[in-house]
Amino acid sequence: MSSATATTPLLAIDDLAVHFSSGGGFLSAPKQTVYAVDGVSFSLAAGETLGLVGESGCGKSTLGRAILRLIEPTRGAIRFEGQDITRFSQSELRPLRRRMQIVFQDPYGSLNPRMTVRAAIGEAMRVHGLVKGPTQEQERVAALLARVGLREDAMSRYPHEFSGGQRQRIGIARALAVEPRFIVADEPVSALDVSIQAQIVNLLLDLQDELGLSYLFVAHDLKVVELMSHRIAVMYLGRIVELLPRQDLAARARHPYTLALQSAVPEVDPKKRKKRILLAGDVPSPIAPPPGCAFHPRCPIAEKGLCDRERPVLRELGPRHQIACHLAEKVAPGGAEHASD
């Protein structure tokens, strides 16, 4: 058992898909399928952070929510702590809800405006039977608030009385109240000022060190994802197109989409600055994804007859490096050919 536990990832996702149907009502447009997430596989170790990056609408939030079974997957499997939870009923999921939590971009939306911080955090503990009586609850809430860097007097206040950064600390405290092992952090710093972003990123990193938490850290900003993650998954139109260790991103990334995202990151050091790769057009609709490689209409190196016809599968390119691109071997790693001018 112990050797199996050592090698079993905390979380393993296999070919996960979420298709929504939209329209099809009386007088509305014909029924269409939105391929929001379309065949995603990865695993996550205890204490590891996988950063998930990609443009708006590529399916990051849908993926995060489907993993937590807050949205029903259309296809695929989710294994958590060695159990296949894909078809778990709500009552079977109940004990697991404690161990898998979510932190949102805007905690304001998820905090009840009429509940004090004390009540909101205490409620989460009570629902899961983690406290015996009000005195213990009070103590635990106070300890949690201290842990996330808020003063004890925050307890009796309401969400609207706090700044964005403080509210995010409350959101984190509430997620931690039930002692989770895995947290989906869905753009937790995207709405915050840069200086506040760094504080929240550091808080999440400290908590991971202390508690051995695993994160799926979602963001559209590659720089923030790099700060937080052990490995980085780049998503495009419902699929992972490249997955690699954080330290390999700068020099080894090869997917033309990853290189375009990288080239858009402002770089102070002119020697490290990459030529900006401008992508033609917008992200296509997940209602009618382009045939072949979904990225081909915007790809600077797409080949006719191949990329517009055959869908590339995610394959091993190097150690712990996966890519979904027919032409990966032809691309200079890290976009090196663009680095000079």
Ligand X SMILES: Nc1ncnc2c1ncn2[C@@H]1O[C@H](COP(=O)(O)OP(=O)(O)OP(=O)(O)O)[C@@H](O)[C@H]1O
Residues that bind Mg ion (CB under 5 A): 61
Q: Which of the choices ligand X, Mg ion, none does residue 122 contact, using the CB cut-off of 5 to 8 A by kind?
A: none
Q: Which of the choices Mg ion, ligand X, none does residue 192 contact, using the CB cut-off of 5 to 8 A by kind?
A: none
Task: Specify the residue, 221 or 308, whose C-beta has the smaller distance to ligand X.
Answer: 221
Task: Specify the residue, 106 or 303, whose C-beta has the smaller distance to Mg ion.
Answer: 106
For strand 83-84 and strand 214-219, is the pairing parallel, antiparallel, or unpaired?
A: unpaired
Query: Hey, which bits of the chain come out as E strands?
Result: 11-22, 32-44, 49-53, 75-80, 83-84, 100-103, 182-186, 214-219, 231-236, 239-245, 315-318, 321-323
Task: Specify the residue, 130 or 191, whose C-beta has the smaller distance to Mg ion.
Answer: 191
Task: Specify the residue, 49 or 61, whose C-beta has the smaller distance to Mg ion.
Answer: 61
Smallest gap from residue 204 Cβ to Mg ion (A): 18
Task: Specify the residue, 61 or 168, whose C-beta has the smaller distance to Mg ion.
Answer: 61
Smallest gap from residue 157 Cβ to ligand X (A): 29
Q: Which two tokens stand for residue 2?
A: 């112990």
Smallest gap from residue 186 Cβ to Mg ion (A): 6
Task: Specify the residue, 61 or 229, whose C-beta has the smaller distance to Mg ion.
Answer: 61
Residue 241 near residue 234, CB atoms below 8 Å: yes
- Classify 57 in phi/psi space as left (phi over 0), alpha (psi -120 to 50) or beta: left
Smallest gap from residue 235 Cβ to ligand X (A): 7
Q: Which of the choices Mg ion, ligand X, none does residue 214 contact, using the CB cut-off of 5 to 8 A by kind?
A: none
Q: Torsions phi, psi of 264, nearest 5?
A: -85, -10
Q: Which two tokens stand for residue 219?
A: 């963001």
Q: Which of the choices ligand X, Mg ion, none does residue 59 contact, using the CB cut-off of 5 to 8 A by kind?
A: ligand X
Dihedral sign for Cα 38, 42, 47, 52, please. Answer: negative
Q: Which of the choices ligand X, Mg ion, none does residue 58 contact, using the CB cut-off of 5 to 8 A by kind?
A: ligand X
| Lookup result for tokens 């805007």 | 106
Q: Which residues contact 108 (CB under 8 A, 6 or more apart)?
A: 159, 160, 167
* CA–CA distance, 68 with 235 (Å, rounded to integer): 19
Smallest gap from residue 61 Cβ to Mg ion (A): 3
Task: Specify the residue, 62 or 317, whose C-beta has the smaller distance to ligand X.
Answer: 62
Q: Which two tokens stand for residue 340?
A: 């000079």
Smallest gap from residue 141 Cβ to ligand X (A): 30
Task: Specify the residue, 64 or 122, whose C-beta has the smaller distance to ligand X.
Answer: 64
Q: Which of the choices ligand X, Mg ion, none does residue 326 contact, using the CB cut-off of 5 to 8 A by kind?
A: none
Smallest gap from residue 197 Cβ to Mg ion (A): 17
Question: Closest by alpha carbon to 78, among 10, 22, 29?
Answer: 10
| Lookup result for tokens 């009570």 | 126
Q: Which of the choices Mg ion, ligand X, none does residue 220 contact, using the CB cut-off of 5 to 8 A by kind?
A: ligand X
Smallest gap from residue 20 Cβ to ligand X (A): 3
Q: Which of the choices Mg ion, ligand X, none does residue 22 contact, using the CB cut-off of 5 to 8 A by kind?
A: ligand X
Q: Which alpha helices (DSSP H) does the chain contain, by range?
A: 2-7, 60-67, 90-97, 107-110, 117-127, 133-147, 164-176, 194-211, 222-228, 249-252, 256-263
Q: What is the binding site for ligand X (CB under 6 A)?
A: 20, 22, 34, 36, 54, 56-62, 220, 286
